[in-house]
Amino acid sequence: MNELIRKLQTDRDLSDRELATVLQTGDSDDALFAAADAVRQSVYGKAVFVRGLIEFTNYCKNDCYYCGIRRGCKSVQRYRLDRQAILDCCETGYALGYRTFVLQGGEDPYFTDARVCDLVQAVRARFPDCAITLSIGEKPKDSYRAYFESGANRYLLRHETANDAHYAKLHPASLSAENRKRCLWDLKEIGYQVGSGFMVGSPFQTTENLVEDLRFLQRLDPDMIGIGPFIPAPNTPFADKPGGTLALTLRLVAVLRLLFPHALLPATTALGTIHPQGRELGLHAGANVVMPNLSPVDVREKYALYAGQICTGEEAAECRACLEIRVRAAGYEVVTDRGDVRR
């Protein structure tokens, strides 16, 4: 293992087999995390970037088998925030020092291109010094271009799994890995800073699938890579499937840091949900971004992608204070600039 970690630190030229070995070996995790932390410190120092997350609609036309806000999940109380409510969230975030707003939602047909553009223009006009990140799923290229021209800079779209057959086990036939990847290439071509990623331990996932995910990411070369454990959501087809583990998620964070020294890697809410110190452990394994919730408290519980989601009860300011304490206690520093990628 030491030899493989050394390779990951130097030319990063590992075979598929060697990558699989790293992912399957647990007894060298401390050395792996230390190597990842050293690489992250060499590029980003102790900085941890903050993105204010605004979950502005939980309506979704898709029926992804794992997702708690899938269309078929009838128990979900649906909501959408209007433009003013979204701007108010940004205002709160701005006062707390956030310079990146992530507008995330289900694929909600109410938010036509015209409405998305109008929203982005309003945020852009009010917060000219901030980055605007959209995370609203798969769209035609022209739509992505229109949002970009309205002032959006970044787009988060996890590829979920790079393997077609595995993708088909997680989604209905109306959705395909091919189209999801097409979206990512379109976004890059238009000029967005792109974030992709996948769930760790999603049903039917194999180590070979994970290696394919790493290879796909190497081709795409995104600015941000978000991963988190799969966590079963009630009233979904995968409600009784086992969740992804902390150990494998942390190992993947570390491998991603070593393979992508410059990437922005969030210590995700899902990681914090499966372990009380999950996000801090994520930082120690190479993560350098946290995404505190800016959504109004009364809608947080309704945006339940999975069971037991943390941070649903706190006001934005409390979230901010809590994260500051956690990040500092872990030995890092919260930075309140836009947190652009350093290439």
Q: Comparing C-alpha atoms, which of 132, 42, 58, 54 is closest to residue 88?
A: 54
CA-closest candidate to residue 155, choices 112, 210, 116, 209: 116
Among 104, 161, 196, 309, binds ligand SAH (CB under 6 A): 104
Q: Name the minimum Å distance from CB 133 to ligand SAH.
A: 11
Is 158 a binding residue for ligand SAH by CB under 6 A? The answer is yes
Instruction: Find all residues with CB under 8 Å of 194, minimum gap 6, and list them.
Output: 154, 155, 156, 157, 184, 187, 188, 220, 222, 223, 224
Region binding ligand SAH by CB under 6 A among candidate stretches 18-26, 100-108, 165-173, 312-320: 100-108
- Of positions 63, 107, 314, 340, contacts ligand SAH by CB under 6 A: 107
**Residue 28: partners with Cβ closer than 8 Å, 6 or more residues away:** 1, 2, 5
Tell which positions 306-325 bind ligand SAH, by CB under 6 A: 306
CB of 60 to ligand SAH, least distance (A): 6
Cβ 321 to ligand SAH shortest distance, Å: 25
Please report how close the Cβ of residue 268 comes to ligand SAH at its closest, in angstroms: 8
How many residues sit in the footprint of ligand SAH (CB under 6 A)?
20
Which residue number, 199 or 281, has a Cβ lying nearer to ligand SAH?
A: 199
- Under the binding rule (CB under 6 A), the answer on residue 54 touching ligand SAH is no
CB-nearer residue toward ligand SAH: 244 or 335 = 244
List the x/- string, 75-94, binding to ligand SAH by CB under 6 A: --------------------
- Comparing CB distances to ligand SAH, the nearer of 38 and 239 is 239
In angstroms, what is the minimal distance from the CB of 92 to ligand SAH? 22
Beta carbon nearer to ligand SAH, 137 or 286? 137
Task: Decide: is 192 part of the binding site for ligand SAH (CB under 6 A).
Answer: no
Among 57, 58, 100, 135, binds ligand SAH (CB under 6 A): 135
Q: Binding to ligand SAH by residue 305, rule CB under 6 A?
A: yes
Among 49, 56, 66, 155, binds ligand SAH (CB under 6 A): 66
Does 230 engage in binding with ligand SAH (CB under 6 A)? Answer: yes
Contact between 270 and ligand SAH per CB under 6 A: yes
Contact positions vs ligand SAH (CB under 6 A): 66-68, 104, 106-107, 135-137, 157-158, 160, 199, 228, 230-231, 233, 270, 305-306
